Amino acid sequence: MRVYLRYAIRETLSNLWRNRLMTIAAVLTVAVSLSLVGAALLLKQSAAQASAQWQQGTRVTVWMEPTATSSELVNVRSQLESLPIVKDCAFFSQAQDYQEAKKILPTVEWTVLKVSDVPSSFRCVPTVPSNAFVVESTFANQPGVYKVTAPEQQIREMNRAIRILQIVFLVLAAVLLLSATVLILNTIRMAIFARRREVSVMKLVGATNWFIRIPYMTEGFIQGLLGSAVAIGAVTALHTWYPLHNEFVLTTSALMGTNAVVLVVGVLIGSVGSGLAIRRFLDV
C-alpha cells in the first residue's frame, strides 16, 4: 500500500507537470464556471431572503388628496375597516405625514412645503401581500383619494429580474461546467495517449485497472480541486466586498453551503471526467 501510494503520488505529479498548459486551462475553466455557479447560488439565496423580508413588511398606502373633505376621509376609513382582506389600518394626519416628509426629503424641498400641501394617509397591512392589489383597485378612483401605492409590484418585478439573472447564470455555468469536464477529459486522454505504451505494458504484466486508473483520476481530482478553490475565493470575495444591499447580505453559513456545493461539484467533475477518459484505454 505504501509502495502504491508513493507510486500514485509520483505519477500524478509528473502528469500534472508534463501537461501543465492543459492543466492550467482545465483549472481556469473549472474556476470560471464554478464561480458562476456559486454566484448564481448566492444570488438565489439572497433574493429569497430579501423578498421574504420585503413581503413581511408589505403595506398598502392610501394617500388622500390634501383637499379631501372630512366626509371623504370618514367614508374611506369606514370602507377600509369593513374590508376583510385588510388586517390593520393606521391613519396618518397631514401633520404626521408632514413630519415624515421632513425626514425623507432634502432640506430645500421640505422648507417650501406647507402642512396643507401634504396628503394625509391610511397605512394598511393586508392579510396576504397579494391583496395589496385589491386595495389598490378598490380605492384608486374613490373621491378624495389621491393615489394608492403598494410596493408589491416592485418586489415582483425585482424578483422576476433576479430570476432571469439567475437562469442566465445557471445556463452559462452549465455550459462552462460541461466544457470544463470536456477539457479535463481531454487533458487526461492526452496524458494517457502519450503514455499508451506504458499503459499497455502495465496491462501486460498484470497491473489491475484501478492501479492504472487512480493516478489519472487523482490528476483530474486535483484539477477540479484547484478550480473550485479559485472559485471559492471568487465567491467569498464577491460576498465580502460587494454587499448589494442590507437585505441581500447572507449569513456565513449560507456562504459556506454555497462553497461546499462548489467544492463538491468541482471535485466530481475532475474525477468523473478523468475516469471516463481512461475507460477506453483500459478495456482490452
Which residues contribute to the site for other proteins (CB under 8 A)?
A: 3-4, 7, 197-198, 200-209, 211-212, 284
To other proteins, the closest distance from the beta carbon of 194 in angstroms equals 11
d(CA 40, CA 46): 10
Q: Which residue, 91 or 211, has its beta carbon nearer to other proteins?
A: 211
Residue indicated by cell numbers 461539484: 265
d(CA 25, CA 176): 12
To other proteins, the closest distance from the beta carbon of 196 in angstroms equals 11
d(CA 37, CA 172): 9
Q: Which residue, 21 or 205, has its beta carbon nearer to other proteins?
A: 205
Strand order in the sheet with 86-92: 86-92, 121-126, 60-64, 145-149
3-state secondary structure of 148: strand
Closest C-alpha to 88, from 96, 80, 76: 80
* Kind plus residue range of the DSSP H or E element containing 62: strand 60-64
To other proteins, the closest distance from the beta carbon of 51 in angstroms equals 53
Residue indicated by cell numbers 507537470: 17
Name the CA radius of gyration of the chain, rounded: 31
Q: Which residue, 71 or 208, has its beta carbon nearer to other proteins?
A: 208
Dihedrals phi, psi of 145, to nearest 5 degrees: -90, 130
Q: Count other Cβ atoms within 10 Å, centred on residue 14.
A: 13
To other proteins, the closest distance from the beta carbon of 201 in angstroms equals 6
To other proteins, the closest distance from the beta carbon of 19 in angstroms equals 15
Q: Which residue, 145 or 192, has its beta carbon nearer to other proteins?
A: 192
Residue 156 near residue 129, CB atoms below 8 Å: no
Closest C-alpha to 185, from 35, 6, 43, 22: 22
Q: Which residue, 67 or 208, has its beta carbon nearer to other proteins?
A: 208
Q: Which residue, 7 or 168, has its beta carbon nearer to other proteins?
A: 7
To other proteins, the closest distance from the beta carbon of 204 in angstroms equals 6
Q: Which residue, 6 or 87, has its beta carbon nearer to other proteins?
A: 6
To other proteins, the closest distance from the beta carbon of 284 in angstroms equals 5
